[in-house]
Chains A and B, each alone.
Chain A
Amino acid sequence: MGLFEAILFSVMTAATPLVLAAIGELVVERSGVLNLGVEGMMIMGAVVAFAGAQLSGSAFVGVLCGLLAGAAFSLLFGFLTLTLVANQVATGLALTILGLGLSGMIGERFIGLPGVRLPVLNVPGLSDVPIVGRVLFGQDLLFYLSIALVVGVAWFLFRTRAGLKLRAIGDNHGSAHALGVPVIRTRYLAVLFGGACAGLAGAHLSLVYTPQWVENMSAGRGWIALALVVFASWRPWRLLAGAYLFGAVSIGQLHAQALGIGIPSQFMSMLPYLATILVLVLISMDRRLTLINRPASLAQPFVPER
C-alpha cells in the first residue's frame, strides 16, 4: 500500500463514525428535534457493541447490539422530550452525561480485553483497482453502511412523500399537525433513527477504529458530529463532504508532524476544526439558503391542541 493510499484509508476510518452519527442527527433535526445526547448515545453504542461482540464472539452481533443500544437510549430522550415535553437542550445534555457514566459502569468488566475486529469485506473485482480500490471497496460493513445511509437519507428527505412530511414537521409542526400529519409519531421514529445511527458510530469506535473498550473512548466525537450537522446546513451531501474534510485534515496534520515540518503541534491539532468551519461557512455563505434549510421549529416543544 502506497503512502497516499494509506493516508486515504486512514481518512475514511477517521470520518466514518462522524458520518454515521451526524447523518442520524441530521434526520432528527430535520424533524424539528434537537438531541444534544449524540455523545452519550455513541458511547452507549460503543460499550454495548463491544460487550455483544465479546459475549457472542461475533463482531456482527456486536454491531447489531450497538445499534439497538443507541436506539433504546434515544427512546429515553424521546419519552422525556416528546411525551413529557421536557426541555430538549437540557434533556440532551443529561443524556450525554448519563451515557458517559452508565457506559463506564457497564464496561467495567471489559476493560483491558482485546476486542473482536469487524472483518473487512472486499468487493470482488473492485477492491483491486489501484489507489482507490482498497480505500472504497476494501472496507468493513460500517463504512459501506455509512455511505448507503447518506444516499438513503438524501433520497428519503428530498424524493419521498414521507421525507417531505418529516421536513414539514420540522419547519412548522403546528401546520403539519393541522394537516393531519402525525407529529409525535414521526418525531419518535426520527429520534430512534438518530439513536440507532449514533449507536452504529459507537460500534465503529469499539469494533473498527480501536477494537477495545476504554471509558470515554468517544472523546468528544459526538459533539463534532453535532457541529457538522449545523455547519453542513442540514444537507446530507455537504455533511459527507464536511466529515471527510475533517478526517483528511486531522490525518494530514499527523503526517505533516511525522514528516517534521516545523509548525507548532498545537496549531496543527486545531487545524481540522478550523478548516471544517472555514469551508462549511464558505459554502453556506448564502444566508437566505441557510435559513431555508434550517428547520424552523428546531428544539421547539410541541403540545398538540386537543
Chain B
Amino acid sequence: MKKTILALAATASMFAMAAPAQAQMGQVKACFIYVGPIGDFGWSYQHDQGRLYVEEQLGDKVETAYLESVPEGADAERAIERFARSGCNIIFTTSFGYMDATNAVAERYPDIKFEHATGYKREHPNVATYDSRFYQGRYIIGQIAAEMSETGSAGYIGSFPIPEVVQGINAFLLGAQSINPDFELKIVWVNSWFDPGREADAARALIDQGVDILTQHTDSTGPMQVAAERGIYAFGQASDMAEFGPETQLTSIVDDWGPYYLERIQAVLDGTWEQTETWAGLAEGHVVMAEYANMPDEVKAQAEATEASIESGEFHPFTGPINKQDGSEWLADGAVAEDSELRSLNFYVEGVDDELPQ
C-alpha cells in the first residue's frame, strides 16, 4: 500500500514537473507564408528551399504547407489565421510587412509558435524573430569590386531605402574603400523588390554611364543577365545566379534558411521551443558566399581571408573610424556599431555620392 502511494506520488510529481514544459510531439505541422511567388528565384524561392530542406531532413516527422504571394497588410492576417486554424504548430511569416499581423494572430493562438522574419516586434511569448546579417557579405563583395573594377566605380541597384538596404550600401562602400579610398558608387533605386524588366533597365543605365561592376539589392536575375550581355562583372543576390552569367558572377550572397528552419522545427518536436531573437550571419551559415569565380587567385584569397575573419568574429564590417556622409564622426577608432544602431540605420557613410531618399 505504502509502495503504491509512493509510486502515485512519484508519478504525480513527475507530472507536476512536466506540466509547465512543453510536450514532445511525434509529428509537427510547419507552415510558411511568402510575400512573393516561390518562382522568383530570389527571396521567396530561398525560403521555400529552406522548407524543402526541412522536409528532406525530417521526413515523416514534419508536414509542411505554404501560401505564396500573400500581400502585406490585411490579407496577411487572414492568411496567418487560416493557417493557425488548420492545425499548424509553427508558422513562419517571411516578410517584414507581416510584423503586426503575426503578433495579432499570435495573441489569439497562444499554443502555436510564430516566427517572423526581419521584424523586431515580439509582443507575445510565442513570437520569435529571425534575420540574417547580409551586410557581412556586402563588405566582402565591396572589396572584390574595388579589386576588379578598372574604372573605379560600381553600380548599385537598390529596392527601397530601408535600414537593411542602407546597411548593405554602406558595408559595400566600406569594403571597397578599404582597397581603393576613392572608389565611387552609383546608386539607382527602382522602388520595387521584384520587377525583372525595370531592374534590367537600371542595370543598362548604370553600365551606359560607365560602371564596370554591378551589384543589386533587388530579387530578380535581370541585372545579372544584362551584365553578362554587356561583358562586365556582377554579384548575385539571395540565390546563386551563376547560371545566368557563368563568366559574369564574381560571387553571390546566398540566403540559407534551411538550418534555421530545421533547428526551430526540431525544437517544437522536442518541446524545447523558446522565444528568441536571431540575427545570424556567416558564422552560423545563414549567409553563405557562393563560389568566388572569375577573379585572380590573390583577390579570391583576400576575399576568403575577409570572410574567415568576419566569420570568426575577429572583424566587424562596421568598425571605426567611420564618418557619416556629411563628414561628422559616427564611430570612433576601434568602436563597433551596436546591433540596435544597425537595425535603424538611416544615413550613408562618407563617400556615398547619393542623397538617401527619406
Q: Which one of A13, A111, A257 contacts B187 once the chains associate, using CB atoms below 8 Å?
A: A257
Q: Are A217 and B197 in contact (CB under 8 A)?
A: yes
Q: Which of B15-23, B111-119, B132-140, B199-207 touches A?
A: B199-207
Q: Are B196 and A14 in contact (CB under 8 A)?
A: no
CB distance from A1 to the nearest CB of B (A): 8
Q: Which one of A13, A212, A221 contacts B221 once the chains associate, using CB atoms below 8 Å?
A: A212
Which residues of B in the span 272-290 have a Cβ within 8 Å of any Cβ on A? none
Is the C-beta of A269 less than 8 angstroms from some C-beta in chain B?
Answer: yes
Q: Which of B38-46, B172-180, B251-259, B294-302 touches A?
A: B38-46
Q: Which one of A10, A219, A221, A260 contacts B208 once the chains associate, using CB atoms below 8 Å?
A: A10
Q: Which one of A214, A221, A251, A262 contacts B205 once the chains associate, using CB atoms below 8 Å?
A: A251
Chain A residues with CB below 8 A from B244, complex form: 114, 212
Chain B residues with CB below 8 A from A254, complex form: 188, 190, 201-202, 205-206
Q: Are B39 and A219 in contact (CB under 8 A)?
A: no
Bound complex: CA of A205 vs CA of B196, how far in Å? 9
Which residues of A in the span 245-273 have a Cβ within 8 Å of any Cβ on B? 250-251, 254-255, 257-260, 262, 264-266, 268-269
A216: nearest chain-B partner, CB-CB: B37
Bound complex: CA of A264 vs CA of B358, how far in Å? 8
Is the C-beta of B189 less than 8 angstroms from some C-beta in chain A?
Answer: yes
Number of residues of chain A lying within 8 A (CB) of chain B: 40
CB distance from A14 to the nearest CB of B (A): 6
Bound complex: CA of A196 vs CA of B196, how far in Å? 23
Q: Which one of A205, A217, A258 contacts B206 once the chains associate, using CB atoms below 8 Å?
A: A258
Bound complex: CA of A235 vs CA of B336, how far in Å? 62
Q: Are A214 and B201 in contact (CB under 8 A)?
A: no
Q: Are B190 and A259 in contact (CB under 8 A)?
A: no
Q: Are B355 and A262 in contact (CB under 8 A)?
A: yes
Of B39, B45, B202, B244, chain A has the most CB atoms within 10 Å of the CB of: B39
Q: Are A3 and B209 in contact (CB under 8 A)?
A: yes
Bound complex: CA of A194 vs CA of B322, how far in Å? 58
Is the C-beta of A108 less than 8 angstroms from some C-beta in chain B?
Answer: yes
Chain A residues with CB below 8 A from B306, complex form: none
Q: Are B196 and A211 in contact (CB under 8 A)?
A: no
Is the C-beta of B215 less than 8 angstroms from some C-beta in chain A?
Answer: no
Which residues of B in the span 225-262 have a Cβ within 8 Å of any Cβ on A? 225-226, 229, 239, 243-244
Q: Are A3 and B208 in contact (CB under 8 A)?
A: yes
Q: Are B357 and A265 in contact (CB under 8 A)?
A: yes
Main secondary structure of the interface of B (DSSP, over half): mixed
Bound complex: CA of A89 vs CA of B204, how far in Å? 37
Which residues of B in the span 143-201 have a Cβ within 8 Å of any Cβ on A? 155, 158, 161, 186-192, 194-198, 200-201
Q: Are A211 and B225 in contact (CB under 8 A)?
A: yes
Q: Are A6 and B225 in contact (CB under 8 A)?
A: no
Is the C-beta of A163 less than 8 angstroms from some C-beta in chain B?
Answer: no
Bound complex: CA of A112 vs CA of B221, how far in Å? 9
Q: Are A219 and B209 in contact (CB under 8 A)?
A: no
Bound complex: CA of A268 vs CA of B190, how far in Å? 9
Chain A residues with CB below 8 A from B45, complex form: 111
Bound complex: CA of A265 vs CA of B165, how far in Å? 14
Is the C-beta of B220 less than 8 angstroms from some C-beta in chain A?
Answer: yes
Is the C-beta of B107 less than 8 angstroms from some C-beta in chain A?
Answer: no
Q: Are A255 and B209 in contact (CB under 8 A)?
A: yes
Which residues of A in the span 181-213 have a Cβ within 8 Å of any Cβ on B? 205, 209-212
Q: Are A14 and B197 in contact (CB under 8 A)?
A: yes
Q: Are A215 and B197 in contact (CB under 8 A)?
A: no
Chain B residues with CB below 8 A from A219, complex form: 192, 194-198
Chain A residues with CB below 8 A from B204, complex form: 6, 10, 251
Chain A residues with CB below 8 A from B69, complex form: 216
Bound complex: CA of A260 vs CA of B352, how far in Å? 10
CB distance from A109 to the nearest CB of B (A): 10
Is the C-beta of A174 less than 8 angstroms from some C-beta in chain B?
Answer: no
Q: Are B221 and A214 in contact (CB under 8 A)?
A: yes
CB distance from A91 to the nearest CB of B (A): 22
Is the C-beta of A131 less than 8 angstroms from some C-beta in chain B?
Answer: no
Is the C-beta of A107 less than 8 angstroms from some C-beta in chain B?
Answer: yes
Is the C-beta of A7 less than 8 angstroms from some C-beta in chain B?
Answer: yes
Is the C-beta of B263 less than 8 angstroms from some C-beta in chain A?
Answer: no
CB distance from A120 to the nearest CB of B (A): 11
Is the C-beta of B353 less than 8 angstroms from some C-beta in chain A?
Answer: yes
Bound complex: CA of A264 vs CA of B158, how far in Å? 13
Is the C-beta of B75 less than 8 angstroms from some C-beta in chain A?
Answer: no
Bound complex: CA of A217 vs CA of B195, how far in Å? 6
* Contacts A111-B39, A251-B201; A212 near B225 (Cβ below 8 A): yes
Is the C-beta of A170 less than 8 angstroms from some C-beta in chain B?
Answer: no
CB distance from B71 to the nearest CB of A (A): 12
Q: Are B188 and A215 in contact (CB under 8 A)?
A: no
A209: nearest chain-B partner, CB-CB: B197
Q: Which one of B158, B208, B225, B357 contacts A210 once the chains associate, using CB atoms below 8 Å?
A: B225
Is the C-beta of B354 less than 8 angstroms from some C-beta in chain A?
Answer: yes
Is the C-beta of B222 less than 8 angstroms from some C-beta in chain A?
Answer: yes
Q: Are B209 and A209 in contact (CB under 8 A)?
A: no
Chain B residues with CB below 8 A from A214, complex form: 39-41, 194, 196, 220-221
Of B40, B158, B198, B200, chain A has the most CB atoms within 10 Å of the CB of: B198
Bound complex: CA of A196 vs CA of B197, how far in Å? 21
20 A-B pairs within 8 Å (CB atoms) are namely A6-B208, A10-B204, A10-B205, A14-B201, A104-B39, A111-B45, A205-B196, A205-B197, A209-B197, A210-B197, A210-B225, A214-B221, A217-B196, A217-B197, A250-B201, A251-B204, A254-B202, A254-B206, A255-B205, A264-B355
Binding site for B on A (CB under 8 A): 3, 6-7, 10, 13-14, 17, 104, 107-108, 111-114, 117, 205, 209-212, 214-217, 219, 221, 250-251, 254-255, 257-260, 262, 264-266, 268-269
Binding site for A on B (CB under 8 A): 36-41, 45, 69, 155, 158, 161, 186-192, 194-198, 200-202, 204-206, 208-209, 220-222, 225-226, 229, 239, 243-244, 353-355, 357-358
CB-based closest 9 A-B pairs:
A265-B189, A215-B37, A215-B39, A254-B205, A6-B208, A269-B191, A219-B195, A210-B196, A210-B222
